Structure 1
């Protein structure tokens, strides 16, 4: 089964204001079987304007990534970061060997 991913880009306006979100988010990830693959807060952007934050979170499947996003717990977490950041979050699926043929 192909893994699912959250691909997150954006800008943090008030870093100290993000601390409650980050602490709760990091504690929540293992409860949904997810793991943080990339967290770069000073991304070297070469094209476009995605912001300086780049995060990739891995899930066992795209369905689990969608379920985690739609969960009550994550929807409550969103409110902790809204006033401190502008974030873009995309849910996607890995390319498997079968897909690349």
Structure 2
């Protein structure tokens, strides 16, 4: 049944072809960080972005969308709180962003 209506699920290998070379290292670094947070961290590769959540409930904690020279990162701690949007470039220091992502990941139950 896979792919009957929506087509086959996209892989990161396919998705990364659309990420501009200038921001690919930063994008890939954030992706690897999200996946390293725990065994239950999962990624959902969509048409124009990648969403990270926890497996069973797939409550998302990070959403990465590459642009021409930046990445729009949305971080959500709780459904009742609005998500935070951060524009990341190759010049952005990652410590604060990683802290926000870790906090959101740990908040989801």
TM bin, normalised by shorter chain, reads 0.3 to 0.5
Please report the TM-score for the alignment, with normalisation by the length of structure 2. 0.32
More strand by share: 1
More helix by share: 1
Comparing both chains, which one has the higher relative contact order based on Cα–Cα distances under 8 Å and sequence gaps of 6 or more? 1
